[in-house]
Amino acid sequence: MDTNNLVPEAPPTIYYIPEFITPEEEQRLMNSVYAAPKPKWTQLSNRRLQNWGGLPHPKGMVAEDIPQWLKTYIDKIGTLGIFGDCLPNHVLVNEYEAGQGIMPHEDGPLFYPVVSTISLGSHTFLDFYRPISEDTQDSTSFQDRYLTSVLLQPRSLILVCDDMYKTFLHGIEDRTTDHVTDKVVNLSQCEGISIGETLSRKTRISLTIRHVPKTIKNKLIFGKR
């Protein structure tokens, strides 16, 4: 992985690649997302999503074929070598309208401990939070445990691994605008963005590309007649 894309101001380890895809690729991807069959969408209270590659499960993910329009970027990210000897085999597509977000969370043990995300259509702030330590009297308030933010610009790729994946929580606040402060650790890698600016969100699609180590084949067993 090219160290030029390392975010040195963040705890280990975040890589940020602006303009990972072209505007033309961005538009093609968005067209493909919205061309997916309606049953492919799952509606949640604050966003809707698509699963490609299967549904991750503690007992194993039943692997499914991934369409070529996504496989192109699975292969591209796979060449970065961030998943060790493995290749990504799962894509979670999220659609966030302006004002929507996701609660701080961990991605958990079902995945290889690296997450890669391509942003389409709009920026957002990905916020990181300290976990609650059992050994101290840490506040349970997310506001008190807030650590830092990464600005995800359209067409960018973020890679989160090591402690930032295993230890810290990440989430997206429910808001329509983002105020740029010195808490944005990748500002030097975001051309044309300065502290003090206010950025307005639009509808954003994220492609979260990961590797699920435990997979199972879907075997249909037919009884004898």
What are the tens digits of pLDDT across the range 17-47?
999 999 999 999 999 999 999 999 999 988 9
- CA dist 114 and 26 (Å) reads 23
> For the residues 176-191, what does the mean pLDDT come to?
97
> For the residues 97-115, what does the mean pLDDT come to?
92
Q: Name the residue among 56, 72, 59, 67 with its Cα closest to residue 20.
A: 72
Contact 118, 32 (CB under 8 A): no
What does the pLDDT read at residue 223? 42
- Tens of pLDDT, residues 44-74: 988 999 999 999 989 899 999 999 999 999 9
Q: What band does 193 get if pLDDT is binned at 50, 70 and 90? A: very high
What does the pLDDT read at residue 135? 54
The upper half-sphere exposure of residue 62, i.e. CA atoms within 13 Å in the direction of its Cβ, equals: 4
Q: Which CATH architecture has domain 3-213?
A: Sandwich (2.60)
Contact 128, 168 (CB under 8 A): yes
C-alpha distance from residue 2 to each of 5, 10, 109, 155 (Å) = 6, 16, 26, 18
What does the pLDDT read at residue 100? 96
Q: What band does 136 get if pLDDT is binned at 50, 70 and 90? A: low
What does the pLDDT read at residue 145? 87
What does the pLDDT read at residue 218? 67
Residue ranges of domains in the chain = 3-213
- Tens of pLDDT, residues 138-173: 567 888 889 999 999 999 999 999 999 999 999 999
> Is residue 137 scored above 70 in pLDDT?
no
What does the pLDDT read at residue 143? 83
Determine what percent of the chain is predicted with pLDDT higher than 90: 80
Q: What band does 219 get if pLDDT is binned at 50, 70 and 90? A: low
